[in-house]
Chains A and B, each alone.
Chain A
Amino acid sequence: MTQETIAFTIVGLAALAVLVGFFRSVLAEPLSALLLKRGKIKLAMKVRAQTKGSGCDHCGPTDKGCH
C-alpha cells in the first residue's frame, strides 16, 4: 500500500466519524421526535437509541470541563 492510500483511508475514517457524531449528537433527537409524530414508533425508537447525550450529563461543577 502506498503512503497516499493509507493517508486517504485515515482521512475517510475521520470523515465518517464526524458524520456519525454529527448525526448522533445533533440530528438523531429531532429526527426521532419527527418520526414519533408521524406514528413510526419502531423507527423512532431505533433512531432515539442512536442519540448521544452531550457527554456532560452527569457533570458536577468541576467535572468534565471538556467543552
Chain B
Amino acid sequence: MSEVLELPKIALAGNPNCGKTALFNALTGSRQKVGNYPGVTVERKEGQIITSSGAKLNLLDLPGTYSLDARTPDEMIARDIILGRQSTETPPRLFVAVADATSLERNLGLVLELRALNKPVVLALNMMDLAHERGLKLDLEILSRELGVPIVPTVAVKKQGIAELIKLVESRLQISGALPVVASPEWEKPNMAAIRVRFTEVDRILKLATVTPARVSVWTEKIDRVVLHPLWGSLLLVAVLAIMFQSIFAWATIPQDWIKGALDFFGKWVGTLLSEGPLRSLLVDGIIAGVGSVLVFLPQILVLFGVILVLEDSGYMARAAFLMDKVMGRVGLHGRAFIPLLSSYACAIPGIMATRTIESKRDRLTTILVAPLTTCSARLPVYTLLIAAFIPNKSVLGPLKLQGLVMLGLYLAGIFAALGMAVVFRKTILRGPKPALLMELPTYKWPSVKNIAYGLWERTQLFLVRAGTVILTASVLLWFMASYPKPPAGAVVDEAHSAITYSYAGKLGTAIEPLLRPIGFDWKISVALIPGFAARETMISALGTVYAVEGQEDHVAEALGQKIAKDWSMATALSLLVWYVLACQCLSTLAVTRRETNSLRWPVFMFVYMTALAYGASFVTYHAARWFGL
C-alpha cells in the first residue's frame, strides 16, 4: 500500500461522459463501470499504470466536471483534488485532460483552466472514431500549439492511442521531474467576463484547428424525432418497459427449471448420504432449501439487467431521462434525479450515492428520501415468487401475459410512490424553487457485447457471493431458530400445532404477529421479515427454511411456491407485495443515507415514513382484497 502511495500521481480530468472511466480502464486494466450517459463516476478512483520502461504510476479517475467552478458534490471532489485542497490526497503531478472530440466547444474550456494551473497537462482527444465518422478533421499540430499542451488522439473503448498516451505521460513527467511540485496551485473563482473570455478563446482555437467541421449526426436526429416526441416517445417508453417485464417471465423459465431440477437432485442426494439427524436437516432444510429458493431467481435478474444494460449502452436511457424530466419537474424533482432513481433499480445504494450530481441540497435530499421506493433487484425474487404462486399466467391484451403486467404494475407502483412522496416532501419539509434541467444527450451507438457480457457476469458473481454469504448465514441461523427448542415431552404436535410453533422462530413470530396480523401477515411471514432487513431477498430463503423445517420438504422452490399458494389467501399475498413495494427493508440503505446526509435524523425519518406508508397501504390492500372476497 505504501508503495502505491509514493508513486507519481497523475489524474484524469474532463467533462462528464467524455470517456474518462473507459480511458482509466484501458490505462490500468481495471473494469470500472462505464456508461453512455453523464454522471457514472461520482467518486475518485485509483489504479496503477505500468509504462513500457517498467515504471509505475498512480492514476486517479476523477468525477466529470465542466469547470473548476464546481457546483455539485461530485464536481467539488474533482476540483479539490485538482487544486490540491484535499489534505488526505497527494496532489497530482500531471493532468491528463480528457476531451470528447465530438464536442470540443464544450470540452476545451476545462483544458484551458487546467493549463492555467501551471502544472503539466496532456490532452487525450477521445472518441476520435466517432469524430471521424462525422467527418470532423482537425489539425492536431495547430490545436496542440494553440492550446499549449501535447495531444494524443484516443479511442478508449477500443484501446487505441493508449500506448502513445502512456509514453507521452512518462516523457512529460521526466521533463517536469526536475521542477518543483506545485502542491496547491493558485485559482480564483471566475466571474462571467472571465468565463466568456475562456470560451471565446476556445472558439478561436477551434476555428484555427478545424480542417473540416463535423456533420450533424443524421441518424441520431432522425431517431430522436420519434424517441423524444412527447407522445410517440412516451408510448415507446411504455412499450419498452412492458417488453422488459414480459421478458422476465418469458425468457427465464427454461434456465429456472434447470436450476430447480439441479437443486432438487442435490437436496435428495445429500439426504441419501446422511442418516436422519440435525446435520441432515441443517443441510437439506436449512441451507439447500433456504439458499436454493433464492438461487432460482438468478435467470430473471439476469434477463432484467441484460435489457437495462442494452438500453443504457445504446444511449436510450438518457432519452428516457429527458422524457421523464417534465413529469419529474412537476413533482419537484430535479431532472438529474432520473439517473439516481434509475440506479436504484439495481440497488438504492448506488442510487443514493449518484445524487451527488445534484447541486441543490433540498433537491438532493428529496431524491435520497424517495430513491428506496423504486424497485431494486432484491425485490425481484419476492415479486416473482408471489406472482408465480398467485397470479394466473393467462393472456390479456393480445400477446401480453397477466403475470408480466402485474410485475410492470409493481414497478410502476414504486415509481408513483416515489413521485408522490417527492410532491409531499417538496410541499412540506423540503420546500424550495423549482429546479431546471440541463442535460447532455449522448449519441446512439450499438451496445458493446463485451460490456454487456461483463456486466452480466459481474451481476452473477455478486448474486452468488451474496447467496453464499448473507443468505447462507441467515438460512443457517433461521434453521436453528426454527428447529430448536424441540417440543417438550408430551406436547401435542398436530396440523394446528406443528413442532416449529414450539421453536424460537415460532415464538418470535407469534410475538410479532399481533402487530402484523391487521395487514394479513401470519407468524411465518412476520419471522421471515426480520432477516429480510439484511437483504430483502433473504425473506424468501427464510420462508423456504421455515416451510422446509415445518414440512420436511425436499422440493425446494417448487414446494415453497405451492405451499404459500395453499397457506396464504390472495389478500395476504397482495398485502405482502404492497409491503415490499413501500417498506424500507434494507439496513444498508439506511447506513448509506446516514453517510450521505451526515446525519442520523434523515435515515430515521426515511425508515419511519416508509414503514408507516407500507403499513397503511398494506392494511388498505388487505382489507379491500378481503372485501372483494379474495
A binds B: yes
Which residue numbers of A lie inside 8 Å of B, CB to CB? Answer: 2-4, 6-8, 10-11, 14-15, 17-18, 21, 25-26, 29, 54-67
Q: Nearest CB to that of A6 among chain B residues?
A: B279
Measured between beta carbons, the chain B residues less than 8 angstroms from A26 are 587, 591
* Interchain CB contact under 8 A, A17 and B473: yes
Task: Tell me the B residues contacting A by CB distance below 8 Å.
Answer: 32-35, 40, 43, 45, 274-275, 277-282, 301, 305, 308-309, 312, 317, 339, 342-343, 345-351, 353-354, 376-378, 455, 458-459, 462-463, 466, 469-470, 472-473, 476-477, 479-480, 535-536, 586-589, 591-592, 595
Q: Which of A7, A25, A57, A60 contacts B278 (CB 8 A)?
A: A7
Using CB atoms, name the residue of chain A closest to B305.
Answer: A62
State the CA gap A7–B376 with chains docked (Å): 34
Q: In the assembled complex, which residues on chain B have CB atoms less than 8 Å from the CB atom of A10? A: 282, 476
Q: Is the CB of B586 within 8 A of A4?
A: no
A65-B305, A65-B376 known; A11+B347 contact, CB < 8 A: no
**Bound: A25/B589 CA distance, A:** 11
Closest Cβ of chain B: how far from A43's Cβ, in Å? 20
Contact A56 B277 (CB under 8 A): no
The contact of B376 among A55, A60, A67, by CB within 8 Å, is A67
A14 touches B347 (CB 8 A): no
Cβ distance A10 to chain B, nearest Cβ, rounded Å: 6
Contacts of B458 in A (CB 8 A): 63-64
Residue of A nearest to B341 (CB): A61
Would B476 and A62 count as touching, CB distance under 8 A? no
**A61 and B343 in contact (CB under 8 A), knowing A11-B477, A14-B476?**
yes
Q: A55 is contacted by which of B353, B378, B455, B588 (Cβ under 8 Å)?
A: B588
- Nearest chain A CB to B119 CB, angstrom units: 27
Residues of A within 8 A of B275 (CB): 3
Residues of B within 8 A of A65 (CB): 301, 305, 345-347, 376-378, 459, 462
Residues of the B chain whose Cβ atoms lie less than 8 Å from the Cβ of A4: 277-279
Complex alpha-carbon distance, A41 and B330, angstroms: 49
Measured CA separation A2–B349 after assembly (Å): 43
Question: Which among A2, A15, A63, A67 is the interface contact of B588 at CB below 8 angstroms?
Answer: A67
- Chain B residues within 8 Å of A64, by CB: 346-347, 349-350, 458-459, 462
B349 touches A56 (CB 8 A): yes
Say how far B604's CB is from chain A's closest CB, in angstroms: 13
Are B282 and A62 in contact, with the CB atoms below 8 A?
Answer: no
Minimum CB–CB distance from A60 to chain B (whole Å) comes to 3
B477 pairs with A3, CB closer than 8 A:
no
Q: How many Å lie between the Cα of A66 and that of B534 in the bound state?
A: 11
Report Cα–Cα, A27/B595, bound state, in Å: 13
Tell me the complex Cα distance, A18–B534, Å.
10
Q: Are A59 and B345 in contact (CB under 8 A)?
A: no
Tell me how far the C-beta of B537 lies from the nearest C-beta in chain A, rounded to whole angstroms: 9
CB atoms of A3 and B278 under 8 A apart: yes
B280 to chain A: which residues have CB within 8 Å? 3
A62–B455 contact, CB under 8 A?
A: yes
Q: Assuming A61-B317, A63-B455, A65-B376, what are 6 further A-B pairs, CB within 8 angstroms?
A: A3-B280, A7-B282, A17-B469, A29-B595, A59-B353, A65-B459
> Do A14 and B473 form a contact, CB below 8 Å, given A26-B591, A66-B466, A67-B535?
yes
Give the distance to chain A from B191, nearest Cβ to Cβ, in Å.
36
Nearest Cβ in chain A — how far from B146, in angstroms? 36
Establish whether residues B354 and A61, one from each chain, have CB atoms under 8 Å apart when the complex forms: yes
A64-B457 Cα distance, complex, nearest whole Å: 11
A25 neighbours in B (Cβ, 8 Å) = 587-588, 591
Most chain B CB neighbours (cut-off 10 Å) among A2, A8, A18, A59: A59
> When the two chains form their complex, are residues A62 and B463 in contact, meaning their CB atoms are under 8 A apart?
no
Residues on A with beta carbons closer than 8 Å to the beta carbon of B43: 57-58
Residues of B close to A17: CB separation below 8 A: 469, 473
Residues of B within 8 Å of A3, CB to CB, are 274-275, 277-280
Residues of A within 8 A of B278 (CB): 3-4, 7-8
Q: Is the CB–CB distance between A61 and B353 below 8 Å? A: no
Given contacts A3-B278, A58-B43, contact A63 B350 (CB under 8 A): yes
CB distance from B532 to the nearest CB of A (A): 11
With A14-B477, A57-B353 as contacts: A62 and B308 at CB distance below 8 Å? yes
Whether A67 and B349, one on each chain, are in contact in the complex, defined by CB atoms closer than 8 angstroms, is yes
A59 in complex: contacting residue of B281, B347, B476, B477, CB < 8 Å: B347
Query: How many angstroms from the CA of A66 to the CA of B298 in the assembled complex?
Result: 12
- Which B residues are in CB contact (< 8 Å) with A57? 43, 353
Closest CB of chain B to A54's CB: distance in Å?
A: 5
A22 and B463 CA atoms in complex are apart in Å by 20
Give Cα distance in the complex from A42 to B592, angstroms: 25
With A and B bound together, what is the CA distance between A10 and B483 in angstroms? Answer: 14
* Residues on B with beta carbons closer than 8 Å to the beta carbon of A59: 33, 343, 346-347, 349-350, 353
Q: 10 A-B pairs, CB-CB below 8 angstroms?
A: A7-B282, A14-B473, A61-B351, A62-B305, A62-B312, A65-B301, A65-B462, A66-B535, A67-B588, A67-B589
How far is the CB of B530 from the nearest CB of chain A, in Å? 12
Question: Which residue of A has the minimal Cβ distance to B40?
Answer: A60
Set of chain A residues within 8 Å of B455, measured between Cβ atoms: 62-63
Q: List the A side residues contacting B536 at CB < 8 Å.
A: 67
